[in-house]
Amino acid sequence: MAGDEAGPGADEGSGRASRTRAAIIDAALRLFRERGFDDTTMRAVAAEAGVSVGNAYYYFASKEHLVQAFYDQAQHDHALAAAAVLGRERDLSVRVRGTLTAWVDVMEPYRGFAGKFFKNAAEPTSPLSPFSTESSPARDAAIGLWREVLAGSDQRIPKVLAADLPELLWLYSMGIVLFWVHDASEDAARTRLLVERTAPVVVRLIGVARLPVLKATVADLIAMMQEIRCL
């Protein structure tokens, strides 16, 4: 590891830098699964990855930054996994179900890690929370994927919902994630069933929002959500 000890500046942006960065993330995830987040140190991550402690800190300033890198990679992998169904299907119910199922597939290797990690991510003040400022790049990318889900569908989206619907679908997906964290069934069978049964219901609710009798109520709900977001 002599080159790494000399510092990563010379190979920053190179394939070697990318491999070093990926090795550190992989090592961290292994240790998070084995020891839990709290009991994993940056020194242990560096040793597991085969790099110096200084080199590990060069790429990631803290354990929290490692988790944010995992979020970014998971979101990238999710988008790639969802691309197949989004490329061939126009029915919104199928697109929603396929996108959520793709997430379950991508995250399957991390199910053992999820339970240990959740207690940290669920803390409202934690930078690891999916709602934190630190998580905004991955969150924005996830909302962008839901925007793509809607844009490529043949569903008529009520104007009152159009701007906020991608975020609302992301919030729905966060509910699926919470269920998945606690799902001990083989191959996340219960989560997959939940996705299959709820996706059509969500799409039907989007459709009925166009009805005149509901327009005012939906507008009030959207206005309330926007007001709360600005506080």
Please give the pLDDT value at position 41: 94
Assess contact for 58 and 8: CB atoms under 8 A.
yes
pLDDT in tens, 130-163: 989 999 999 999 999 999 999 999 999 988 888 9
Residue that terminates a domain, selected from 59, 87, 103: 59
Please give the pLDDT value at position 13: 55
47 lies in the same domain as 84: no
44 lies in the same domain as 89: no
* CB contact set of 200 (below 8 Å; sequence gap of 6+): 93, 97
Its sign, for the CA torsion 29, 32, 38, 42, is negative
**Which among 219, 220, 202 is positioned nearest to 210, based on CA atoms?**
219
Mean pLDDT of the chain, nearest integer: 88
pTM over 0.85: no
18 lies in the same domain as 55: yes
Give me the mean pLDDT over the 171-199 stretch: 95
Given a cut of 70, whether residue 92 has pLDDT beyond it is yes
CATH at 90: 1.10.357.10
24 lies in the same domain as 137: no
198 lies in the same domain as 85: yes
Please tell me the distance from the alpha carbon of residue 60 to that of residue 89, in angstroms, as a whole number.
Answer: 39
Please give the pLDDT value at position 145: 98
148 lies in the same domain as 214: yes
**Which among 195, 189, 149, 193 is positioned nearest to 176, based on CA atoms?**
195
Give me the mean pLDDT over the 100-125 stretch: 86
Residue that terminates a domain, selected from 38, 59, 80: 59
Q: What is the DSSP letter of 188?
A: G
Please give the pLDDT value at position 189: 97
75 lies in the same domain as 121: yes
Given a cut of 50, whether residue 45 has pLDDT beyond it is yes
Within 13 A of 224's CA, how many CA atoms are on the CB side?
6
67 lies in the same domain as 146: yes
Given a cut of 80, whether residue 226 has pLDDT beyond it is no
Give the residue numbers spanning the domain of 78: 63-230
> pLDDT confidence of 93, banded at 50, 70, 90?
very high
77-91, 150-164, 210-224: least confident range: 210-224
Residue that terminates a domain, selected from 13, 43, 59: 59
Please tell me the distance from the alpha carbon of residue 62 to that of residue 48, in angstroms, as a whole number.
Answer: 16
48 lies in the same domain as 85: no
122 lies in the same domain as 217: yes
126 lies in the same domain as 194: yes
CATH at 32: 1.10.10.60
Give me the mean pLDDT over the 89-93 stretch: 97
40 lies in the same domain as 70: no
* Domain count within the chain: 2
Please tell me the distance from the alpha carbon of residue 144 to that of residue 20, in angstroms, as a whole number.
Answer: 29
